Amino acid sequence: MTQLITLKNAWMGSHITEAEFPTSLSKQGLALYQTSQQARNIVPFQPAPATTPQSLLSIYPVDCHPLTIRYALVQASQWDEQDAEAIIEFLTQIMLDESSPAQLFVGFFQSKPVACGMLFTHPDVPDHVLISDVCAFPLPNQQALEHAMTAWLTTQAATLAPQIWQC
C-alpha cells in the first residue's frame, strides 16, 4: 500500500510545490518533512490493547487556520528548535476543504493542544485509509496521548474504509 503514502506525501507537498510564491522557509520545511517520511513504513493497522481511554483527549477536526497552527505546533515539537520553525512554516500552508483527501485532527488535554494526527483517503485507493502523522508534545504522558489519538483515529477510520493502514 505504498501508493497511499506516496499520494499522501504528494498531497502534503503540493501546498508548497504548487504555491505561486512559496517561502524559502516553507520549502525547507517540506524537505525536512519529506526526509522524515522516507524513514516511515506503512503497515496494516494492528490495534494495540486498549490501555489508554480515548477520553483522555478532546479531539477536534482542523477546520480553520487557528487549528492548523495548533496542528503545526504539535507536529513541529518532533523536530529540534531550528528545524521546528521551518516545519511550522510548511504545515501552516496546508489548505483544507471538503474535497481534501486528508483530515487533520488536534487533541486537547486540559484545554491545551497536545496531540495531532491525520486520516488520509484518496479516490484512487477508495477502500483504504491511512492513519499518519500521529504525535504528541514531549510530555510525561506523551505515549498515552499518542495512543489516545491513535485509538480515536482508528474509530474514525473504520467508518471510512474497510482497510486501515498506519505509518
Residue 34, SS3 per DSSP = helix
Per-residue pLDDT tens digits for 52-62 = 555 789 999 99
Per-residue pLDDT tens digits for 6-63 = 999 999 999 999 999 999 999 999 999 999 998 777 777 766 555 555 578 999 999 9
Q: Report the first-to-last Cα separation within the chain, whole angstroms.
A: 11
Assign residue 98 the CATH number of its domain: 3.40.630.30
pTM over 0.85? The answer is yes
pLDDT band at 119 (very low <50, low <70, confident <90, very high): very high
Cell numbers that stand for 110 in this block: 486540559
Helix or strand holding residue 40 (H, E):
none
Angle between helices 65-76 and 81-91 (to 10 degrees): 150
What's the total number of domains in the chain? 1
Region for 115 from its dihedrals, namely left if φ exceeds 0, alpha if ψ lies in -120 to 50, beta otherwise? beta
Range of the domain at 84: 2-166
pLDDT band at 167 (very low <50, low <70, confident <90, very high): confident
